[in-house]
Amino acid sequence: MRTFFYLSRLANEEELAQIKLRSDELEKENTELSSTLTKKEAELEARAQEKEDLESNLERTKEKLELELARANEARQRLGEIVFFLEKNGRKRECGRVIDCYFFLYQASSNLTSPTLTPPPPPPR
């Protein structure tokens, strides 16, 4: 009877050792998974912040582009008005006024980004 008791106790101890080993393995796996999850959450947070920064930069760039477009349109309109004035009145005025008009025409054209614009010709004498 004692032998059976010792064998039974030995079997229980062996089962307990296996259970303890499995518990340790599961605890280690849990720690690793928890660590991996923490890293992934940090990466996700960094990517979300990067996305937010990119969206903010994009919005500022859009605003700058809209402002530049408005300035370019305004300069084109001013240039058209000056050209119209020159065509209508420029040659009828005295030479000094024509020079002023050409100066403003050149100044307005330099505000445009079009590479096809050249400085105006010298005024007629």
Report how far residue 16's alpha carbon sits from residue 20's, in angstroms, rounded to the nearest whole number.
6
Per-residue pLDDT tens for 52-62? 999 999 999 99
SS3 117: coil
Distance of CA 123 to the CA centre of its chain: 48
pLDDT for res 115: 47
75-105 pLDDT, tens digit each: 889 888 877 877 776 555 544 555 555 565 5
Report the candidate in 113, 41, 15 with the shortest Cα–Cα distance to residue 71. Answer: 113
pTM for the model: 0.49
Q: How many C-beta atoms lie closer than 10 Å to residue 112's C-beta?
A: 16
Cα dihedral sign, 100-102-105-111: negative
Residue 23 has pLDDT above 60, yes or no: yes
Exposed/middle/buried for residue 99 (C-beta within 10 Å: 0-12, 13-18, 19+): middle
Domain ranges of the chain: 2-110
Q: What rounded mean pLDDT belongs to the chain? A: 79
